[in-house]
Amino acid sequence: MGSQALSQNNETFEINLGPQHPATHGVLRVKLTMDGEYIVDAEPVLGYIHRMHELMGENRTWAKYLPNMGRIDYLSALSYNLGYVQLVEKMMGIEVPERAEYIRVLTTEMNRISSHLLWFGAFVLDLGGFTPLLYAFDDREHILDLLESVTGSRLTYCYYRFGGLYNDVDDDFLTGCTQFLKRLRSRMPMYHKLVTGNVILRQRLVGVGPLSAEMCRKYGATGPVLRGSGVNYDVRKNEPYSIYPELDFDVPVYSDGDSMARYMVRMDEIEQSMRIVEQCIAKMPQGEIKAPKVPKLIKPAIGDYYHAVEAARGTFAIRAVSDGKNQAYRMKLRAPTFCNLSLYQEASKGMLLADALAFMGSLDLVIPEIDR
């Protein structure tokens, strides 16, 4: 009797979105409490792919921790590599040759394009459109081929080294990049016609999942999510690193805060990244790719170090505490999607199931990065 009365007043049911579910692109589990098609509560449950990267950082030497970086966010691995090597360079005071910096930025931005392309495809797949995914993969494949020809791997790159790079790029790579940009430039209008302008897609995105700048600040959301809510914050501009101050690019900001704004931010970022890559190719200096004096044994002075970079999904920051030994005393990785996901519970209240999934897709979650 009692339970019946309860169920009459509170007619909700729970469904599991994940850990194995076509919409979550990985092993994220979201416990949904539903009232019919409406979401009463959405509780993300994490930890299904936790690999203790932070602890590994405290148990490995600085150099041995390098390959871990590509495994945190496998879609924009180079940004994470960059963040880590720059942190170590900051700690040790290593000067990086200019050519190496240019190649780093070039490859990072190529990686950002590939990451956004994959997001674009997967997002439209979440909304039920299959074909754009394959078109995006077609383009992305060209980037992977290019990056493979310099770094040797396709996804979990380990290309940057303390003080420089693993190996130099050749002219074939640079002309390949130019050709690819030309190709992508001709493909972008097609994407906009096929997807951005599509009335069904607009209906599903415009006004769905509005995030205020206030809420983004509350949960520490960064990257395209924050910029889609009208806040002009990009680590590349606000705390410039590497050669970004020398490059001319804009930070796309949309003030609507809905899924469409986040979509447009990412699409515009692809264009901006293309501009950056072009400038890098044009300005590419000759010279060394590795600093002449890199200490064999990395033992930073006692202290607290912090470095942040703009990864494809937001601010990736590392805080490392060194006690003067050859491995970190404390390694803290700030992964952007973890913060971006944390606002999901509050923001998705009262949404329709289909809208909640469109909203989740617009956050661009990479689950291994959330769990680390």
Q: Which residues bind other proteins (CB under 8 A)?
A: 13, 15, 21-23, 37, 60, 63-68, 71, 124-131, 134-135, 138, 148-153, 156, 158, 161, 166-167, 190, 193-195, 197-201, 203-204, 352-355, 357
- Give residue 166's identity as a one-letter amino acid code: Y
CB of 155 to other proteins, least distance (A): 11
Written as one string, the DSSP assignment of 114-178 is: HHHHHHHHHHHHHTT--HHHHHHHHHHHHHHHHHHHHHS-SSS---EETTEESS---HHHHHHHH
CB of 130 to other proteins, least distance (A): 6
DSSP 193: I
CB of 126 to other proteins, least distance (A): 5
User: Which of 135, 120, 198, 196 lies closest to 362 in space, CA to CA?
Assistant: 120
- Of 23 and 40, the one with the shorter C-beta distance to other proteins is 23
Q: 19 preceded by cis ω (within 30°)?
A: yes
How far is C-alpha 117 from the chain's CA centre? Answer: 12
Query: At 179, phi and psi to the nearest 5?
Result: -65, -40
User: Which of 308, 78, 292, 296 lies closest to 164 in space, CA to CA?
Assistant: 292
- Of 136 and 370, the one with the shorter C-beta distance to other proteins is 136
- Of 124 and 277, the one with the shorter C-beta distance to other proteins is 124
- Of 13 and 306, the one with the shorter C-beta distance to other proteins is 13
- Of 8 and 296, the one with the shorter C-beta distance to other proteins is 296
CB of 278 to other proteins, least distance (A): 23
CB of 101 to other proteins, least distance (A): 20
- Of 54 and 239, the one with the shorter C-beta distance to other proteins is 54
Query: At 197, phi and psi to the nearest 5?
Result: -80, -10
DSSP 246: G
- Token duo for residue 185: 């430039």
CB of 318 to other proteins, least distance (A): 17
